[in-house]
Amino acid sequence: MEKFNTFTGIIAPLDRSNVDTDAIIPKQFLKSIKRSGFGPNLFDAWRYLDAYDAADENKSRKINSDFVLNQSPYDKAEILLARENYGCGSSREHAVWAMTDFGLKVVLAPSYGDIFYGNSFKNGFLPIRLKSEEIDSLFNSVQANNGFKVTVNLEEQFVETEKNEKFEFDIDSGLKERLIKGLDDIGLTL
């Protein structure tokens, strides 16, 4: 896994609560145990206007231009901003794989589904819990400034905006060390 310490990136605003793992990566795409190839189908029902056809593999699908991750600059975002209970639902590790394969490295939300939260760290992905009012502030900043960026400092445990706002977050010391050192389950045993 890639080491994670400090990272700066564009925030993509997904202003939805209770985004479940079936919305993140629908069940019809769970046919592989490889960790790659899921990015094109991240949020499939929201990103496309028509149904998936395995024979076509997204080549001629109609893009939903109203969906945030289909809009510039958010189509290249590496940080997702969401509302409470992100990643709730079934225990599919594929949800994290789809997010990382798309290019996302961090999600900022007030709360997470427990299984999604645990799977994130196992795959080098950082789910940060911020207070609801801090999430609201970030949504306001993103709405006012297309391409708004934040810096995530895992070592010092804060998110800093371009406006020099700092939002501190808590994280288990073992999970933090795992990301900073880039350790997966096998790396932890060595």
What residue ranges do the domains of the chain occupy? 6-189
Enter the pTM of the model. 0.92
Topology (CATH level 3) of domain 6-189: Aconitase; domain 4 (3.20.19)
pLDDT at 185: 62
Q: Which two tokens stand for residue 20?
A: 């479940």
Give the per-residue pLDDT at 2: 86
Q: Three-state SS for 140?
A: helix
Distance CA 70, CA 47 (A): 7
Gap between the Cα atoms of 183 and 175, Å rounded = 10
Query: Beta partners for 88?
Result: 20
What was the pLDDT predicted at 186?
Answer: 53
* H or E element, residue 10: strand 6-13
Q: Which residues contact 107 (CB under 8 A, 6 or more apart)?
A: 79, 80, 81, 82, 86, 87, 99, 120, 125, 126, 127, 128
pLDDT at position 152: 98
Q: What is the pLDDT of residue 187?
A: 54
Residue 180 is classified by DSSP as: H
Concatenate the DSSP letters of all residues of 22-86 into one string: HHHS-GGG----SSSS-GGGTTHHHHBSS---TTTTTTTPPB-TTSGGGSTTGGG-SEEE--SSB
Per-residue pLDDT of the chain (190 residues; tens, 9 = 90+): 788 889 999 999 999 999 999 999 987 777 766 667 888 999 999 999 988 777 677 778 899 999 999 999 999 999 999 999 999 988 778 899 999 999 999 999 999 999 999 999 999 999 999 999 999 999 999 999 999 999 999 999 999 999 999 999 999 999 999 999 998 765 555 4
Q: Cβ-count burial of 75 within 10 angstroms (0-12 exposed, 13-18 middle, 19+ buried)? A: middle
Q: Which residues, 6 or more positions from 89, have their beta carbon under 8 angstroms from its beta carbon? A: 20, 21, 22, 113, 116
Q: CB burial class (10 A; 0-12, 13-18, 19+) of residue 56?
A: exposed
CA 22 – CA 29 distance, rounded (Å):
10
